[in-house]
Structure 1
Amino acid sequence: MDDDRIEALLAEGIATDDPERRCEIASELTQGDPQVAFPLAVRMLRSREEGGVALGGELIESTPKGRFVERDDGTGYLVEDGPTFDDAQRAVLIGLVAERMAAAGEPAAVALLRASWRLVDAALLGPVLALAGHPSAEVRHMVAVTLPGFAVEFEDAPAIDATLLALARDEDDDVVDWAIFGLGLNHGDGPLDTPEARALFAANVDHEHVGVRDEARVALALLGDVGYLEDCLYAEDEDDARRTHDAFVTAAGRTGDPRLHASLVTLRDLGYASNPFLEAELAAALEATRPAT
C-alpha cells in the first residue's frame, strides 16, 4: 500500500464517528500483520485526537493473535492463532494503552479495551477495572466482555470477580448479560460459587433479556442446579430459540446430567445440528448425558 493511501486511511479513521468503519480501516491498513500494525498503532496512540487514539486501539485489535472470529454459520467464535508482536513491541503498546485508557472518552475507551483484550497483561488489569465505572454503557459493556480474558490469565484475581458482580447489577442489560457470562459459563474451571453469585444467578433466571436469563440458567446448571435449564428449550422468537438451544446444549454437555438426555434427543430430531460444528457439540452432549445401562 502506498504512502498516500495509508495517510488517507489514517485521516479517515481519525475523523470517522462510525466504529465499524474504524475497524474496517484498521484491518485494511494492517492486513493482520503485527509488524505493519506496530508503528501505525504507536503513532495513533500518541495522537492528541480522540479518534486517533481509538484508531490506535483498533490497529492493535486487528492483529490475528488470539483473534475471535465468527464461524461460517454465524453461531459463535473460534480462536485463530497467528503472528503477534514481539516482547519489546508489546511492552511499548501496553504502556501506551494503559496511559491513554486512564483519560479516554467513549470511542477511545472501547477501542483500547478491545486492544487490551488482544494484549492481556497484568499492567492493563488495573486500567481495565477502573473503566467499570465509566458513564458510558458501551464502555462498561466492553469491560464485561474483556475481563474474562484476564481471569483466564490471572486466576487469583478477586478484583475481577468483584467487578463482574458489580457489572451484573448494571442498568444496561447487555452489560449484565456479559457480566453473568463472565461469572458463569466463561469463568475458568466453573462458575463463581459463592452465596452472592448463586443468589445473583437465581435472581436472573426469568430476566426479560434472553441472554441474561440463559446465562443465569446455565451458570446454575453448572453449579448442579439443572431445574431451570429445560426452560432454555422454549422461546417464541426464532433468534432467541437458537441462542437458548445453544445454551442448553453447552450446559448439558458440561454437566453430563442424564436427566437432560431426552431433551437433547428432541433437539437432534428437530434438526438443531445444522452444521458440522454444532453436530459435533450436540453429539458430545448426547454422549456425556447418556444414561447408564
Structure 2
Amino acid sequence: MSEILRFFHSQFFVTPPKPTANFTGKTVIVTGSNVGLGKEAARHFTALNASTVILAVRSLEKGEVARTDIETSTNRKDVVKVMQLDMSSYQSVLDFASKASKELERVDIAVLNAGVNRGVWEVFEQDESTITVNVVSTFLLAFALLPKMKETSQKFNTRPTLTVVSSEVHEWASFEERKALDGQIFARLNEKTVGGKQVGLGNRYQVSKLLEILFGRALCERYPSSSFPVTVNLVNPGFCHSEFGREGPGFLAIMRFLLARTTEVGARTLVHAASQGVESHGKYLSDAQITEPSVYVRSEEGKKDQERVWKELTKKLEGISEGVTRI
C-alpha cells in the first residue's frame, strides 16, 4: 500500500481502540498538555488510575485550567500537577528535568508531545524554531529524563517508557539538507537563504519528524533493550483536530475538516505507545501497533544519514549541557 493510500485508509477506516491499561502507582509526564493531544492523553492516564500526572506546559495559567478540566471529567483529585516547561528554551528544558528528577519519587512514563509547526522563520536558541523545539529540545529533554527513569526501573523493578510523538508526515519529507557537507546538516537547516533564495518552511515540520525518527532509532541501536532498562519508542497519532499548526498553511484547515480524527481518538495512540514494553523499543507505532517507518528510513541511504544526524545532534546536545548524552 502506498504512503498516500495508507494515510487515507488510516484516517477513514481505522479507529484506534480506547486504552484500558492500568497505570496504578505510575507517575506520568506529558509535555505540551494544556491543549490537544497532550491534554487528552493526560486525561486518559488520569482516568486509568495513574498516581501522578504531570502537565509539562509553557503557561502555568493554561496548565491550571487544563488540570481543573481533567480533574472534573475524571472525578480524580490531587493526581494532576502542573510544571513549567518552555521547549523554546534549553535552560527551561534542563530546569524542568532537574526539578522533576529531584521532586518526583519516580518517572514511569514520559510522553514527549510538545511540538510546533511554524509558518514564519524565527530562531529559538541556536536553530530555526521548528528544529529547536521538535528535535533539539525534545532529545535534550529525553536525555535529561532518562537517568531518573533508569533509577525508577532499578528502585521499583519496572520498565519505564519514553515515547516521542512523531508523525507519518516523515514519509513525505523532502530532506534536501542531507546533501549538505558532512557535519553540516543542522547548519544547513539554520540557513534562512540558500542559493540566493529564501528557504520556505512548508516542508520543515515533515523534516523535523523525520529527524526524530532517525535519531530515535540511532539511540535505541546504541542502547538496546537487552542492556537498557527503559523502553524508547516513537508514535504517529494520525492527523487530528487540535490548535496545533495554526501558523501553518491554510489548506491544513480544510484537510482537518475533512479528514481529522478527534483529539481524544488521536491521544489513544499516545497512551497505547506509552503502555508498551520491551518489544516496542526503537520502534515506530501507528494505529496502536508497531509499524515500519518510511522506505527511506529503512534504506542504506537512510541508515547513513541516520548516523550523520546522530553525530551532529549528540555533539550539539553536549554543547548545550556537557555530559547530558551519557546515559
TM-score (norm 2): 0.27
**As a proportion of its length, which structure holds more helix?**
1
Which structure is higher in strand share?
A: 2
Where relative contact order (Cα < 8 A, 6+ residues apart) is larger, the structure is 2
